[in-house]
């Protein structure tokens, strides 16, 4: 889920190389920090089973309402230190929402291996996209509107599949999500490197959503295709 409307960033391209490096460095630090509340939220969710009742339409409402509420709050506070706190609260919430899927995967005999594989795969995608972002000289800002449309179509498909409950649909959505959000990752990283994104909290939010969606989709695919029952 990465539904940020691409803003006009022309002013950002006036940033010096030093300022761009500072934004990128702060983004990486905050992104690494944001993984801790995510892991904590997932652990709390699995340990307490608090999200087990969030199925179907109710789960969808809680997830979308909470996620968009947090993203709105992050946008309003991103110019202050409060934005960091709100972002970390958001990542805890996302970990909590992810805990139901993690709990289901842990129910497989090879559940732990599947989670580690999804994590390694996500890290690999990030490494490849970060490497590409540093070597591609072409301006990729035009990708934003197409990726946004793709993310919206994907969200509609995912919402429909919540009620349909199709495994084939879930697989198709997961494959599409991995492709779209991997491309989004490249786009967001290139925006930071080129000076198109000047706020490290906004940059962290964008990259976090990319990583979250890739990880979640990889985990869903691995669970459907490789889960071993006792």
C-alpha separations of 71 from 66, 156, 203 in Å: 9, 19, 12
Tell whether 201 is covered by a domain. yes
If phi > 0 it is left, if psi is from -120 to 50 it is alpha, else beta; for residue 136 that is beta
| Spatial separation of the C-alpha atoms in residues 136 and 150, rounded to whole Å | 22
Domain count, the chain: 1
**Residue 124 maps to a domain:** yes
**pTM for the complete prediction?**
0.88
Angstrom distance (rounded) from CA 13 to CA 15:
5
Q: Give a yes or no: residue 55 inside a domain.
A: yes
CB atoms within 10 A of CB 88: 18
Q: Is residue 67 part of a domain?
A: yes
Residue 213 CA to residue 48 CA, distance in Å, equals 24
What is the tens place of the pLDDT at every residue in 154-184?
988 888 887 887 788 889 999 999 999 999 9
Has residue 38 been placed in a domain?
Answer: yes
Q: Which domain holds residue 132?
A: 13-226
The rounded distance, in Å, linking the Cα atoms of 45 and 105 is: 13
CA 122/CA 214 separation, integer angstroms: 6
**pLDDT per residue over 52-108, tens digit each?**
777 767 778 888 899 999 999 999 999 988 999 999 999 999 999 999 999 989 988
In a domain, 4, yes or no: no
Alpha carbons 56 and 38: distance in angstroms, whole number:
22
- pLDDT, tens digit, for every residue of 92-120? 999 999 999 999 899 888 889 999 999 99
Whether residue 2 has pLDDT greater than 70 = no
Q: What pLDDT score was predicted for residue 30?
A: 96
Q: Is residue 137 part of a domain?
A: yes
Write out 79-90 in H/E/C secondary structure.
Answer: CCCHHHHHHHHH
Beta-carbon contacts of 47 under 8 Å, excluding residues fewer than 6 positions away, are: none
Residue 1 lies in a domain: no
């Amino acid at each position: 889920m990465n539904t940020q409307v691409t803003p006009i960033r022309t002013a950002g391209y006036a940033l010096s190389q030093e300022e761009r490096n500072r934004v990128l460095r702060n983004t990486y630090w905050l992104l690494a920090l944001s993984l801790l509340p995510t892991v904590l939220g997932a652990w709390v969710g699995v340990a307490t089973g608090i999200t087990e009742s969030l199925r179907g339409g109710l789960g969808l409402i809680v997830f979308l309402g909470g996620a968009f509420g947090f993203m709105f709050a992050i946008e309003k506070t991103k110019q202050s230190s409060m934005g960091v706190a709100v972002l970390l609260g958001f990542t805890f919430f996302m970990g909590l929402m992810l805990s139901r899927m993690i709990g289901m995967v842990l129910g497989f005999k090879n559940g732990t291996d599947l989670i580690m594989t999804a994590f390694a795969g996500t890290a690999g995608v990030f490494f490849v996209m970060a490497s590409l972002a540093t070597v591609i000289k072409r301006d990729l800002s035009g990708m934003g509107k197409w990726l946004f449309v793709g993310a919206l179509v994907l969200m509609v498909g995912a919402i429909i599949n919540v009620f349909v409950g199709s495994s084939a649909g879930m697989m198709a959505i997961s494959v599409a999500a991995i492709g779209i959000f991997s491309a989004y990752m490249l786009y967001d990283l290139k925006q930071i490197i080129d000076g198109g994104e000047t706020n490290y909290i906004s940059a962290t939010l964008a990259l976090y959503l990319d990583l979250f969606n890739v990880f979640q989709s990889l985990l869903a695919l691995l669970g459907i295709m490789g889960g071993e029952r006792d």
